[in-house]
Amino acid sequence: MKIVKEDENNNQIIGYEPQLIRSTIEFKGKNNRVICEKNVRLINARIVCLGSNSIVYLSSSRKNYNITVAIFNNSTLFIDENCSTNGKLSLSLSEEKNIFIGKECLFSFDIWIRLADPHLIYDIDTKKRINYSKSVYLGDHIWVGQEALILKGTQIGSGSIIGAKSVISNKIVNSNTISGGNPIKQIKEGIFWDAECVHRYTKRQTEASIDYDSNQWIYEDDGEKLTFDEIEENLNKTNDLDEKINYLLKIRNFKSHNRFYI
């Protein structure tokens, strides 16, 4: 992948030059990489590498990236193709942990993903720290409702819905389910969803939407899969940025429909 821009601290934008619309990419540390595929358009966005040795990977998308990213040291943010944000998606990556988002995910307004609390909490009796930061993983085709808060240790399987104003922390969400609330709980299983928007529907369109004739958004325990724990292990076992980028490219090219089934 070619270097698009590079500064004196070995921070690089590589791949293709992104389109910046009222947006900025800023480097405060050293040896960071922002990888952009074709058709990356940042609108009202800010990406700030506040530490060193981190990766931000933005895949090609039909939609604009309306994101705010604060990433510190030795972390990886990966967003697969054709994700969409109706409003601002804010992502904060701390304490050498990662955020991974699969393809075709839909984020509503004012959503946060955070990996740290971020202040230190200790047990009174042992004086041992009890609030370590953890990575967050989202599979393919996930719909996250307005003002949801996704916190450390969360893993969400492909095809799922997270309800508006939900708070989810350190939970595993099964594929093709609806979960919501604070704290979050499973509301319904055995569902799938389509990104077609109903706001302008007429009576005829509503009637046409009653039946669905495709299995494209149903995910099953079948075929080749990648576990989020496996991805986490591979991202954390090396500090070599080129090795990490090559691994992300392998995931990017891994097209199994059920790859992130839970």
Per-residue DSSP letters for 66-95?
-EEEEE-SS-EEEE-TT-EESS-EEEEE-T
- How many alpha carbons lie under 13 Å from residue 92 in its C-beta half-sphere? 13
Six-digit token string for 90: 């804010």
What length does the chain have? Answer: 262
Q: Can you list the residues of the chain whose pLDDT is less than 70?
A: none
pLDDT of residue 131: 97
Predicted confidence (pLDDT) per residue in 110-166, tens digit = 999 999 998 999 999 999 999 999 999 999 999 999 999 999 999 999 999 999 999
Strand partners, 3: 14
SS3 state of residue 248 = helix
Strand partners, 43: 21
pLDDT of residue 1: 83
**Residues 96, 115: Cα–Cα separation, whole Å:** 10
Q: How far is CA 160 from its chain centroid?
A: 14
**Residues 177, 171: Cα–Cα separation, whole Å:** 13
Contact, 72 vs 93, CB < 8 A? yes
pLDDT of residue 41: 98
